[in-house]
Amino acid sequence: MFVNELREGVCKEWTQELKTMAGFQEPPIKKAKNDRSVDLNANTSQAPTQPSPSQAANGHLKARDSSASFQNLKHKNPHKRSPQKAKNPEHLRNLLSQRHALPIFPARARLLEEFKKHQTVIVIGETGSGKTTQIPQYIHEERLDRKGGICITQPRRVAAISIAKRVAEEMDTNLGGLVGYSVRFEEAVCPATKVKYVTDGMLLREAISDPLLSKYSWILLDEAHERTINTDVLFGIVKDAQKTRRSTPGQDPLRLLIMSATMDVDHFQPGRQHPIEMFYAKKQQEDYVMATMTTVFQIHREAPPRHDILLFLTGQEEIDSVTANLRQIAKDGSLAECPRLRVLPMYAALPAHQQLDVFRPTAEGERKVIVSTNIAETSITIPGIRFVIDCGRAKVRTYHPGSGFDALKVRKISQAQAWQRTGRAGREASGNCYRAYTRAEFDAMDVNPTPEILRSNLSSVMLQLLAMGIKNVVTFDFIDKPSAEHLEAAMVQLTFLGAVVIKSDCLELTEAGRKMAQFPLEPRYAKVILSGPEHGCTDEVLSIISMLSSESIFVNPAGKKEQAAIARRKFTSVEGDHITLLKVFRAFKAAKKNKMWCHENFLNFRNLMYATEVRKQLVQVCERCGVALTSCQQKTDSVRRCLATGLFTSVAELQLDGKYLTLDTKQEAALHPTSALFGGKPAYVLFTELVLTGKAYMHLNSIVDPQWLHDIAPEYFRKKHVKR
DNA sequence: GAGCACTGC
């Protein structure tokens, strides 16, 4: 490709809109309320976090943050003081004045009044308004928590921990005393804990053993706008518990606060955001990759050096090819007058040192162009960006119940994501954002991304709901109801696994199902563990499933592919990937969990340590459920047989033409090139995951014996005409 | 012969 082609490119005309996007005299972005209409029952009200009459009339308020003290709370704990210093009266006075300066403070009395009047209250205010740290304290100060504690959920672990630390400090108590937290693998609580910050997943676990959440008199679901699958499910659970407690004599009422931020203010906070000029494509672009590349050079010709560009594209392949093209074109003579162009790719699979390259400051007379996936949308912040170019698309993983596929497809992003990308241009100074789509296309985008619960396999959710005593999952109060097909598929899977039986049109949990729900795992993996004693290999399957719960174990550094392949061969098993993982785990243990050993063997130390933690927890659940910890040592075919008890609906059969068809839904599928079985042609393979990318690939596969399949589920496999 | 990105129990 040549510069001339780009000069004549399709996207050189832009319409300019929204002169300044983030001025904050007026909220710059007019959007629909970000939270979905939350079903308000009769005794529900919406309380503003600031008693401004005009905004109160609007039903909710976008509080403005005048103090910057909380803004980075999510990312780091800003209080690295010694505990002794907390007793320092001056420090305490300082903390108190900070609390009083928060936007939420003037609304304190009004909020408490609403809390006393209504059992469910929705509080909308931006991050930094103080709702997460202050509201629990207000409730405690008013002694409204006498009959039970306050539990505040967070979608992320770090947030739960760091906010608990801050609140303990403000309340001048030790963390783990009056104020505590509880996340997986880590907690700081005691019987006297009244204010507890937890991850949403943690509270969901708690609800399995105590569906009425009887320890608490207050549940605060924070960051509800993020619509994580756990917060969504909790919403229904808590409402259910509230109803039951209300109608049960002797039960204390359960009070529910839904706390949500609106995306616009949340992501464009004063002090963190400079004005951004917006540009839309004048007409619809046929080739968005080409359009964005054209724009790079338009900017490059005009903008001063060190005004860096962040270009959002969808995936690794696209990014690598665009990076190569841009580097090639940058050598063109007509660009001699321009700053030197440094083009850098950015995506999760990139080796760590290459990822770090994007953070290196731009040199004098140079310009950086970062070509990134949506990893740069939220997860990382790159300094120096003055221009954002947005292709308007991203890859989204969606589960398809009909075929059992997880599809990884390029889709239009939502308006909320588009604004998130835009915001990346104005972190340090005023910036510009070029959208490679028209204003009309933008308007046609969804306001928010599809909630996770509508894109997921629901078998875990359904098992959890049943374990909490929710009889009819179909009538459960979902904020967004999953389709009948999704619910049906989960029901079928749970039936196959022997977790439920259908009795008089209702699902009933079996004894095995009740045990399966105890495991923090997908039901099919829990089933494998329950089958452990029968096959004498609990120990082995625990290791394998812990490894499957972890991120990738193998490291593939660029330039050392050969050595990595040699190292990997030591662990590779002809039986497949599961036994390969088992061999790695055993070797890791034998090497005494040594970091250097991992490095030498191209294994990811952190992820192996994580697997070790998961395994420890699973062992505890086994002990609690009476699952015997048997071991088969070298009899690895028992291990594979055991795996098949939970994964038997994920089997593919070799056809005469050398391709594989899944037995369940007759989909064509191929062994993934990273599989230990790749290149071989076993008659039957068991796969862990089926992902549709270029084509349908089976990930993490093992050889299975068809006879085992008939032993495990005779009727199912007779129908599938599997030869023994 | 191929890998969107997170989070969580």
Residue A278 in this model has a pLDDT that exceeds 90: yes
Residue A20 in this model has a pLDDT that exceeds 80: no
The answer to whether the beta carbons of residues A82 and A88 sit under 8 Å apart is no
Q: Which of A469, A467, A464, A442 is nearest to A453 (CA)?
A: A464
Q: Which nucleotide is nearest to A202 (CA to C1')?
A: B9
Q: What's the CA gap between A221 and A243, in Å, rounded?
A: 17
Q: What's the CA gap between A626 and A642, in Å, rounded?
A: 18
Q: What residue type is A562 in one-letter code? A: E
The neighbouring-strand residues paired with A182 are: A187, A198
Residue A33 in this model has a pLDDT that exceeds 60: no
Domains along chain A with CATH numbers: 3-17+273-452 (3.40.50.300), 62-267 (3.40.50.300), 457-516 (1.10.10)
What is the average per-residue pLDDT within A618-641? Answer: 94
A547: helix, strand or coil: helix
The neighbouring-strand residues paired with A368 are: A342
> Which protein residue lies nearest to nucleotide B8, measured between its Cα and the C1' atom?
A201
The neighbouring-strand residues paired with A409 are: A396
Strand B closer than 7 A to residue A347 Cβ: yes
Residue A372 in this model has a pLDDT that exceeds 70: yes
Q: Which nucleotide is nearest to A204 (CA to C1')?
A: B9
The neighbouring-strand residues paired with A280 are: A15, A435
What pLDDT is recorded for position A247? 94
Q: How confident is the model at residue A24 (pLDDT cuts 50, 70, 90)?
A: very low
Radius of gyration of chain A from Cα atoms?
A: 28
What pLDDT is recorded for position A557? 77
A379: helix, strand or coil: coil
User: Cβ neighbours of residue A508 under 8 Å, at least 6 residues apart?
Assistant: A466, A500, A501, A502
A134: helix, strand or coil: helix
Q: What's the CA gap between A372 and A671, in Å, rounded?
A: 28
The answer to whether the beta carbons of residues A233 and A202 sit under 8 Å apart is no
Strand B closer than 7 A to residue A18 Cβ: no
> Which protein residue lies nearest to nucleotide B5, measured between its Cα and the C1' atom?
A375
- Distance of A10 CA from B8 C1′ (whole Å): 43
The answer to whether the beta carbons of residues A476 and A461 sit under 8 Å apart is no
What is the average per-residue pLDDT within A464-483? Answer: 91
Q: Which nucleotide is nearest to A374 (CA to C1')?
A: B5
What pLDDT is recorded for position A211? 93
> Which protein residue lies nearest to nucleotide B3, measured between its Cα and the C1' atom?
A349
Strand B closer than 7 A to residue A694 Cβ: yes
Residue A53 in this model has a pLDDT that exceeds 70: no
Q: Which nucleotide is nearest to A410 (CA to C1')?
A: B4
Query: What spatial distance separates the first Cα and last Cα of chain A, rounded to whole Å?
Result: 56
Cα separation values, A107 from A27, A71, A167, A698, Å: 21, 20, 19, 55
Residue A499 in this model has a pLDDT that exceeds 60: yes
Rounded to 10 degrees, what is the CA torsion of A442, A445, A447, A453?
A: -150
Q: Which nucleotide is nearest to A520 (CA to C1')?
A: B9
Strand B closer than 7 A to residue A317 Cβ: yes
pLDDT in tens, A136-149: 999 999 999 999 99
The answer to whether the beta carbons of residues A336 and A363 sit under 8 Å apart is no
Q: How confident is the model at residue A11 (pLDDT cuts 50, 70, 90)?
A: very low
- Distance of A653 CA from B5 C1′ (whole Å): 32
Q: What's the CA gap between A391 and A293, in Å, rounded?
A: 10
- Token digits of residue A310: 């962040």
Cβ neighbours, 10 Å, residue A556? 14
What is the average per-residue pLDDT within A52-56? Answer: 30
A144: helix, strand or coil: coil
Q: What's the CA gap between A513 and A499, in Å, rounded?
A: 4
At residue A514, what are phi and psi to the nearest 5 degrees? Answer: -60, -40
State the DSSP H helix or E strand holding residue A312, giving kind and residue range, or none if neither.
strand A308-312
Strand B closer than 7 A to residue A373 Cβ: yes
Cβ neighbours, 10 Å, residue A342? 18
Q: What's the CA gap between A537 and A703, in Å, rounded?
A: 17
Q: Which nucleotide is nearest to A379 (CA to C1')?
A: B6
State the DSSP H helix or E strand holding residue A671, giving kind and residue range, or none if neither.
strand A668-671
> Looking at strand B, which nucleotides approach a protein CB closer than 7 A?
1-9
Residue A309 in this model has a pLDDT that exceeds 60: yes
Cα separation values, A155 from A74, A221, A375, A530, Å: 11, 9, 18, 29
What is the average per-residue pLDDT within A639-661? Answer: 95
The neighbouring-strand residues paired with A661 are: A653, A668
Residue A555 in this model has a pLDDT that exceeds 90: no
Residue A706 in this model has a pLDDT that exceeds 90: yes
Per DSSP (E only), the strands in A184-307 are 186-188, 195-199, 216-221, 255-260, 276-281
Q: How confident is the model at residue A13 (pLDDT cuts 50, 70, 90)?
A: low
- Distance of A101 CA from B9 C1′ (whole Å): 37
Q: Which nucleotide is nearest to A565 (CA to C1')?
A: B1
Strand B closer than 7 A to residue A693 Cβ: yes
User: Cβ neighbours of residue A610 under 8 Å, at least 6 residues apart?
Assistant: A550, A551
Burial of A244 from C-beta contacts in 10 A (0-12 / 13-18 / 19+): middle
Furthest CA-CA distance within chain A: 84
Q: What's the CA gap between A583 and A567, in Å, rounded?
A: 13
What pLDDT is recorded for position A4? 45
User: Cβ neighbours of residue A647 under 8 Å, at least 6 residues apart?
Assistant: A524, A528, A686, A687, A688
Mean pLDDT over the full length of chain A: 85
**Range with lowest mean pLDDT among A228-232, A336-340, A424-428:** A424-428
What pLDDT is recorded for position A272? 58
pLDDT in tens, A90-137: 999 999 999 999 999 999 999 999 999 999 999 988 767 899 999 999
Residue A65 in this model has a pLDDT that exceeds 50: no
Residue A722 in this model has a pLDDT that exceeds 60: yes
Residue A263 in this model has a pLDDT that exceeds 50: no
The answer to whether the beta carbons of residues A238 and A219 sit under 8 Å apart is yes
Residue A30 in this model has a pLDDT that exceeds 70: no
User: Cβ neighbours of residue A625 under 8 Å, at least 6 residues apart?
Assistant: A515, A518, A530
Q: Which nucleotide is nearest to A550 (CA to C1')?
A: B8
Compute the C-alpha angle A269/A275/A279, nearest 5°. 120
The answer to whether the beta carbons of residues A133 and A167 sit under 8 Å apart is yes
What pLDDT is recorded for position A377? 83
Per DSSP (E only), the strands in A321-449 are 340-346, 366-372, 385-390, 393-400, 405-412, 431-435
In SS3 terms, A431-497 reads as EEEEECCCHHHHHHCCCCCCCHHHCCCCHHHHHHHHHCCCCCHHHCCCCCCCCHHHHHHHHHHHHHC
State the DSSP H helix or E strand holding residue A669, giving kind and residue range, or none if neither.
strand A668-671
Q: What's the CA gap between A350 and A590, in Å, rounded?
A: 30
- Distance of A127 CA from B2 C1′ (whole Å): 40
> Which protein residue lies nearest to nucleotide B1, measured between its Cα and the C1' atom?
A673
Residue A41 in this model has a pLDDT that exceeds 60: no
What is the average per-residue pLDDT within A246-271? Answer: 74
At residue A599, what are phi and psi to the nearest 5 degrees? Answer: -60, -45
The neighbouring-strand residues paired with A506 are: A503
The answer to whether the beta carbons of residues A351 and A285 sit under 8 Å apart is no
Complete DSSP assignment for A549-562: TSS--B---TT-HH
User: Cβ neighbours of residue A418 under 8 Å, at least 6 residues apart?
Assistant: A390, A392, A435, A442, A445
Q: How confident is the model at residue A72 (pLDDT cuts 50, 70, 90)?
A: very low
Residue A26 in this model has a pLDDT that exceeds 80: no
Q: What's the CA gap between A115 and A144, in Å, rounded?
A: 9
Residue A42 in this model has a pLDDT that exceeds 60: no
pLDDT in tens, A150-194: 999 998 888 899 999 999 999 999 999 999 999 999 999 999 999
User: Cβ neighbours of residue A389 under 8 Å, at least 6 residues apart?
Assistant: A292, A295, A296, A299, A309, A310, A311, A312, A433, A434, A436
